[in-house]
Amino acid sequence: MANQVAFTEKLTNFYRYPCICGFQDKVEKPKEFLGYLNTPSPKDRDTMIYIHIPFCRSMCIYCPFYKEHHKNIDYETKSRFVNALVKELEMYSKEPYFKDVPIVNVNMGGGTPMVLETELLIRILDAIYKNFNMEKCEVISIEGDPIALQDVNKLKALKEMGMTRTSFGIQTFNERLRKKLGVESSVLDIFKALNALEKAGVDEWGCDMLYNCPDQNVTEIRYNVDRICDLKPTVVDVYDLNISPNTKLQKLLDTDYFKSKPSNKNEIEMFAAIMETFGENGFDHIRSVNFEPKGYKHSKKGILYAFSADLLAIGPSARTFMYSGGMNYRNHCSLERYIGSLEDGIYPVEAGNIVSKEALEERDIILFPYYMKLRKDEINYNRFKEKIDDMIISGYIKDNGDSIELTDLGKLWAGNVQYYFHSDSEKEKMANSIFKCLSEKKNFFNQDNINC
């Protein structure tokens, strides 16, 4: 008999499954670990490339991604870094697994790739074209920030090299909150960036918005959604503020630096307001954290498609996932170790695991709440039937016959529905990772010292 479940503490979405923990999944011998590279790819999945560029102009106090302040890194080191990226791309491209595999999407993220000098960005794109089969590539996306995106000449040069879209963080229109969170750009910069994008003819752009930040309320969230919709982005990513233990942000929340704190109540009320306000502005809720103008024809193989495709991730801290062979790993979260490893001709893999068939099946059902809909024949339905039935009688999932779908209530609790399908062993591993990070004073995201 199915169990009735009622979620009360809202969880953030899970994009990565199974988890990679730097303590529990250390890779000592990358060449042996990457044995899958010796066999040809089965070619039944699309392959994407992600490149992590770890430089930023802002050091936003909430952000757990691996990055360095771009002013602290001289041009020579940046150039060595790009040589290392190129070398990593070349090494993979020569392996049987990647021979002739068509790449459908390239995404440069970070950090803020756009802060890198134009000629260095062009060298990276050039290396991708030279080493991979790009005939079917529909999207090349490069992340920026509101200041880096004001350079019309850079945008034009990247567009000539095939860039089709960009994205950047708007986060909030509250100038005071931007400053407190360490975001260097101003609201005026957002408008200047949009002006430059228009001049350069880059008409596909997405933006990120944060909610449940300290000092935010529901009225301000509705205001932010309305203003973002006025700007006519082609997609909006909406993220609830994640606060990692041990970080400066977490410590500041214990002081009077902010007037009010994020809360579970705000989290729920704000996301409900976000869904409603996007709807009022004619935006569709297309994936659990993504909203898009009704009828917008985005390219099919856009970045949002990423989690169900094979993803080769290049650069420090970048995470690769290959369905074939269940390869799940990430690179060194340090510029020095990353460059050093490649200068020695060694794959810069720091941590990872080989995913069992059972965990791959779990991944399919755990990613379903992110996509919000799933055909039953795409998963091992019988294995998860009991838990799916629990979610159906509890009102989070509806059964459409040959597919399942999140209900409106389920959309509000997507992260919790995901967690409901985690295996016990994975829950235990995540708990151990958090415990280890707490005792070693690390940021849980990559088990490193970012913002600690």
Ligand X SMILES: C[S@@+](CC[C@H](N)C(=O)[O-])C[C@H]1O[C@@H](n2cnc3c(N)ncnc32)[C@H](O)[C@@H]1O
**Is residue 54 near ligand SF4 by the rule CB under 6 A?**
no
DSSP lists the bridge partners of residue 290 as: 237, 287
Q: Say if CB 277 and CB 226 are below 8 A apart.
A: yes
Applying CB under 6 A, among 68, 88, 145, 426 the residue interacting with ligand X is 145
**Least separation in angstroms between CB 107 and ligand X:** 11
- Output phi, psi for 121, to 5 deg: -65, -40
Rounded to a whole number of angstroms, the distance between the first and last alpha carbons of the chain is 46
Show the binding pattern over residues 86-115: x = contacts ligand SF4 (CB under 6 A), - = does not: ------------------------xxx---
- 441: which 2 tokens? 């004073």
Residue placing its CB nearer to ligand SF4 in the complex, 242 or 423: 242
The DSSP code sequence of 253-301 is: TTTTSSSS---HHHHHHHHHHHHHHHHHTTEEEEETTEEEETT----TT
Taking CB within 5 to 8 Å according to partner kind, which of ligand X, ligand SF4, none is near residue 367? none
**Is residue 109 near ligand X by the rule CB under 6 A?**
yes
Q: Say if CB 105 and CB 51 are below 8 A apart.
A: no
Dist. CA 411–CA 146, nearest whole Å = 30
Applying CB under 6 A, among 7, 50, 65, 81 the residue interacting with ligand SF4 is 65
Candidates 63-71, 88-96, 195-203, 282-290: pick the segment binding ligand SF4 (CB under 6 A): 63-71
- 384: which 2 tokens? 């998860």
Applying CB under 6 A, among 10, 52, 67, 332 the residue interacting with ligand SF4 is 67
Dist. CA 99–CA 88, nearest whole Å = 15
Q: Say if CB 436 and CB 21 are below 8 A apart.
A: yes
Show the binding pattern over residues 59-78: x = contacts ligand X (CB under 6 A), - = does not: ---xxxx-------------
**Least separation in angstroms between CB 432 and ligand SF4:** 27
**Is residue 374 near ligand X by the rule CB under 6 A?**
no
**Is residue 186 near ligand X by the rule CB under 6 A?**
no
Taking CB within 5 to 8 Å according to partner kind, which of ligand SF4, ligand X, none is near residue 241? ligand X
Interface positions with ligand X (CB under 6 A)? 56, 62-65, 109-110, 112, 143, 145, 168-169, 171, 208, 210, 239, 241-242
